[in-house]
Copies of this chain bind each other. A is one copy, B any other.
Amino acid sequence: MSDSPQLYRSSTTAPVNIAVIKYWGKRDTVLNLPTNSSLSVTLSQKSLRTHTTASASESYSGDDTLLLNGEQEDIKSSKRTQACLKHLRSLRAELEAKDATLPKLSKMTLRLVSENNFPTAAGLASSAAGFAALVRAIADLYELPQSPEELSLIARQGSGSACRSLMGGFVAWRAGTKEDGSDSKAQEVAPASHWPDLRALILVVSAEKKGVPSTAGMQTTVETSTLAPARFTDIVPRRLKEIEKAIHEKDFEAFGRITMQDSNSFHAICLDSWPPIHYMNDVSRAAMNAVETANRKAGKTVAAYTFDAGPNAVIYYLEEHAYLVAGVIRSIIPYIPGWEGEFAEKIRPNEFGGLEQRTLMTLKTGVSRVICTGIGGAPEKIDKHLVDESGQPVSVD
């Protein structure tokens, strides 16, 4: 009797990122090439992360599989996932061709197991962290020498914004101009350590109804919005330069203003699409109003809202202004889940926010939970595996 075939495993966690210059519009829907560059903040994996284990073994047979939050995903018919796997395998095959002593992992079936530590119901875009974790875990399993920037080209094909989750801190996704997408990749603008006191408070809004899926929405905008071309070709490139300067100079006032303006610009071209697309609702607007009030009271920009393809508000602020921003929100909705963990500890409730009654009531009734987090780093290789030594999925989180 021989030993059972060896099992190869590698595990990683990957972060969520929230754009401050928004990605909305594809110039190539197969390759996920965007109409404009974008820039995001990588959030701390202490709060939000996808944990993925990639495993391969001669003993595995059949199709590659992905178990996500305990459910088998149909990755065979997902062109996006297949594109990532194919690309990663070909890079591994190149290594194996050069060094015959390497195990032939590129020929083995992959078993992928992935878990998000945040509720799907929270309406947080999990695809970015998910594809970043998948690409990072397989690249580690395959011991690929490619840099995060090079791997971002692969993750991008899984989900556009996933390319930005392969790095920490402030990450730009350069749109590129080439037809094959070979210059459309992520680049670190500054690491998390550059501005470590940047915080994010996420207000999870109980949406009555799922909005238009982002891929479909983006295409509607590209095809129909008459205001969008100016955004793609002129407004975003200018804003991107400005916000990079603000980040380098740690100028929160400029950073915050541009963040808010770009969120509004994105939702404006959604409204200008045909049929029009709405992601924000009255609760979102109450959150905007709370931020505007905090800034007015402070006499400067101490908080900045941004909204993705849904009603949730993400509010950026600096640790030193926690009381003026997150503290006000905490005093309004102290009993909902989420005021816990390292980032929440320093948020003292502030009853002197001066919000108007309507804003208070709308937030009280419309926000279902908060997530207190901050800027964070790149995906991390960890030794907690979601596949045991016999190749079976296990839960460790």
Contact = CB atoms under 8 A, between A and B. Distances in A.
Interface of A: 208-209, 226-227, 229-231, 234-235, 257, 260-261, 264-265, 267-269, 271-272, 274-276, 278, 281-282, 285, 288, 292, 356, 358
Contact of A226 (B209, B226, B235, B281): B235
Contact of A268 (B229, B234, B271, B288): B271
Nearest to A271: B268
A234 B229 CA distance: 12
A275 B257 CA distance: 10
**Chain A binding surface SS class:** helix
15 contacts: A208-B358, A227-B230, A227-B231, A227-B265, A227-B272, A229-B230, A260-B276, A261-B272, A261-B274, A264-B274, A264-B276, A268-B268, A268-B272, A271-B271, A275-B292
Nearest to A225: B268
A24 to B, nearest CB: 13
Nearest to A231: B227
Contacts of A356: 209
Contacts of A276: 260, 264, 288
Contacts of A227: 227, 230-231, 235, 265, 268-269, 272
A288 B274 CA distance: 13
Contacts of A231: 226-227
A281 B209 CA distance: 16
A225 B297 CA distance: 24
A354 to B, nearest CB: 15
A36 B110 CA distance: 60
A209 to B, nearest CB: 7
Contacts of A260: 276
Nearest to A292: B275
Nearest to A296: B275
Contact of A285 (B229, B261, B274, B278): B278
Contact of A269 (B261, B268, B282, B288): B268
A174 to B, nearest CB: 21
A230 B274 CA distance: 17
